[in-house]
Amino acid sequence: MSKTKFILGLFDDPDDMMHGIEKLQKNSIPIYDVYSPMPVHGIEAKLGVKESRLGYAAFCFGCLGASVIFSIVYYTLVHDWPMDIGGKPNFPIPVFVPFTFEWTILFTAFGMTLTFFAATHLFPGRAPRVMDLRATDDRFIIAIDAKGNVPHEDINNLLKEAGAVEIKHNDRKYVSYE
């Protein structure tokens, strides 16, 4: 039993990589993940990545922001200390619109960013987990879990056929740990 945990196929062309994904899928080899230094169109559909649920989080944060500021202003301006401003009613709905709008956007923006950080383990100060450093530079990488039942030689051959410029057998999952 080899110590290899992950097999990485490094490509220098996104089209070759897409071709590689197809090849692996045709041979029923499960792909662990794909890393790319730039967005590749249509790759989510090909890999069957589930659609992001970030939008729902954004919606919830927006609602939260709106209710928080509405409650604060309602409490201070209407309930606790009603004031006569320009002869307007004590519960002036139009006045509530601008900051409800602003806080909705503020909470949506921050909430969405934080959710994204949480979901992708990307907190500031944390060392990013990368399988190969060149995935952030000029290599397109397909990662395959080596613990499967497929012989490693077959995977190597498939990747080579697809045009991989380099194939790595890694004993550690990530090259960087925090």
Partner 1 sequence: MGTHTDINQQYEFSGKIKTWSLIAIVIGVVGVLYGFLIDPSDIAVQRTFSNLLLMSYYFACVCIAAVFFLSYQYLAQAGWSASLLRLPQAMAKVLPIAAVILVVVIVAGLFTTHEVVVDGVKEHAPYLYAHWATHGLTDPASANYDPIIAGKSGLLNIYTFLGLLLLFLIAYTVSGLKLVKFSNDEDERGGMFNYNKSFKVAAIFLLIFGFTFPVFAFDTIMSLDAHWFSTMFGWYNLAAMHVSGLAIIVLFLIYLRKKGYMQWVSQDHLHNLGQLMFGFSIFWTYVWFGQFFLIWYANLPEETVYFYKRWEPEYKFWFWLNLVLNFLAPLLLLMSRDAKRLTARLKITAIILIIGHWLDYYIMIMPGTMHYHEGHTPHLWEQFGIQEVSIAVGFGGLLIYLTLSALSKFKSLVPKKHPFLDESLHHHI
Residue with tokens 């990488």: 141
Is residue 48 a contact residue for partner 1 (CB under 8 A)? no
Please state, in angstroms and rounded to a whole number, the distance separating the CA atoms of residues 107 and 169.
44
Interface size with partner 1, residues (CB under 8 A): 11
Please state, in angstroms and rounded to a whole number, the distance separating the CA atoms of residues 49 and 26.
17
Closer to partner 1 by CB, 56 or 123: give it: 56
> Contact 111/66 with Cβ under 8 angstroms?
no
Site string for partner 1, 58-97 (x = CB under 8 A): -x--------------------------xxx-----xx-x
Length of the chain: 178
Residue 22 CB, shortest distance to partner 1, in Å, is 17
Closer to partner 1 by CB, 87 or 125: give it: 87
Residue 94 CB, shortest distance to partner 1, in Å, is 5
Please state, in angstroms and rounded to a whole number, the distance separating the CA atoms of residues 153 and 157.
6
Single-letter code of the amino acid located at 53: R
| Residue ranges of E strands in the chain | 6-11, 33-35, 140-145, 166-170
Closer to partner 1 by CB, 39 or 124: give it: 39
Is residue 55 a contact residue for partner 1 (CB under 8 A)? yes
Site string for partner 1, 8-47 (x = CB under 8 A): ---------------------------------xx-----
- Please count the other Cβ atoms lying within 10 Å of the Cβ belonging to residue 40: 16
Which residues lie near partner 1 (CB under 8 A)? Answer: 41-42, 55, 59, 86-88, 94-95, 97-98
